[in-house]
Amino acid sequence: MENVQKTTQINEQRPLRDWFDMFWAMVRKEFTIKTRYPIELFAGFAQLFIMIAVFTLATLTFTSGGSDSIGEGGINIYSIVVYGFIPFIFLTETLWGIGVNIRQEQLQGTLESVFLSPASQAASLISRVILTLIWTSLMSLMAIILMVLMTRSIPFFNLPLALYILAMTLLGTFGIGFAFAAITLRIKQTAQTLANVFQFSFMVFCAPFIPFGVLPEWVKLVSRVIPLAYGVDAFRSTLMNYPAGFPELAPINVEIWIVTLFGLLAPPLGLWLYYREEARARRRGSLGIY
């Protein structure tokens, strides 16, 4: 009895430390699961190379002189592809790693157990992000190396500012991931298709593989209301050292402000949506229903 009281007292005194212990245990759990499926790890990397090859070949089909003709327009299309690819792969991994992962727990029948444990739900969601962060950073690095090997050198300037923009964009992306997890609880099976639709919509409206300048006007109008589009534009323009016409959506200082606000506001908003949806699912008893 005395021991129980002592433990309770200690727990009350160290809520932050307990949260981190719990969080760390969850990160370890996610990491352990990931390492149990080595082929999945390999497939993730292989997929990355194939995607880059597909888009590079697609571009080449529209050229007369092959890859040599591509840089003639004054901008290096390869740098646009590779620097756009980084936010794209983070968004993809976030949607699948957080949103669809929740769905997987639901399918396996472990979601209710996770929710019944006295652990923080925020920790559960954020622990999935940590793995995505490490894993996707590695993949992004590989993408840059691959692109340099496949093509020619690509411009690489203003690294600290570019990293700041990327960090803020990623924070915002994680916010989207949390919101997507909330949607997953509501729409269930459709989440997988919706993740695909988000990915492809991102490809069109946030122009990760093409300059915004070539988009039709109505698409550009939609792009201008998506903060993630400013992240893509600011990130690649900064790394390319602002060639003529870049950034395309707004002056760079305006884009940095937008990206900063996106990075700061999207995660709490996403978490709020998730808590709301989780409470609704608990009330309706639909957590285990799929």
Partner 1 sequence: MQLQANDIRADLSAAAAEMRLRFSNMTRYPGQLALEIFLPILFAAMPIFLSQTVPGSDVATNFSENAGTTNYVAYLLIGSTAYIMVTRAFWDVAFWLRYEQMVGTLEAIYLTPTNSVVLASGVSFYSAVRSLTAGLIAYLLGCLIFGVNPLQGQIGLALVFLLVGLPAVYGIAFLFGALVIKIKEMTALINMMQWGFAFLMGVYYPLSMLPDFFSFLALVLPATWLVNGVRSAILGVGFFLGAWYYDLAVLTALSIIVPIFSIRVFKRTERNIRRRQGIGQF
Query: Which residues sit at the interface with partner 1, rule CB under 8 A?
Result: 37, 39-41, 43-44, 46-47, 50-51, 53-55, 57-64, 69-70, 72-73, 77, 80, 96, 100, 104, 107-109, 187-190, 192-194, 196-197, 200-201, 203-204, 207, 209-211, 214-215, 219
Between residues 122 and 188, which has the closer beta carbon with respect to partner 1? 188
Q: How far is the CB of 152 from partner 1 (least distance, A)?
A: 16
Q: How far is the CB of 7 from partner 1 (least distance, A)?
A: 36
3-state secondary structure 133-200: HHHHHHHHHHHHHHHHHHCCCCCCCCHHHHHHHHHHHHHHHHHHHHHHHHHHHHHCCHHHHHHHHHHH
Q: How far is the CB of 123 from partner 1 (least distance, A)?
A: 23
Between residues 21 and 68, which has the closer beta carbon with respect to partner 1? 68
Q: Torsion over CA of 18, 19, 20 and 21, rounded to 10 degrees?
A: 50
Between residues 57 and 149, which has the closer beta carbon with respect to partner 1? 57
Between residues 106 and 260, which has the closer beta carbon with respect to partner 1? 106
Q: How far is the CB of 65 from partner 1 (least distance, A)?
A: 9
Q: How far is the CB of 20 from partner 1 (least distance, A)?
A: 29
Between residues 80 and 266, which has the closer beta carbon with respect to partner 1? 80
Between residues 21 and 40, which has the closer beta carbon with respect to partner 1? 40
Q: How far is the CB of 219 from partner 1 (least distance, A)?
A: 8
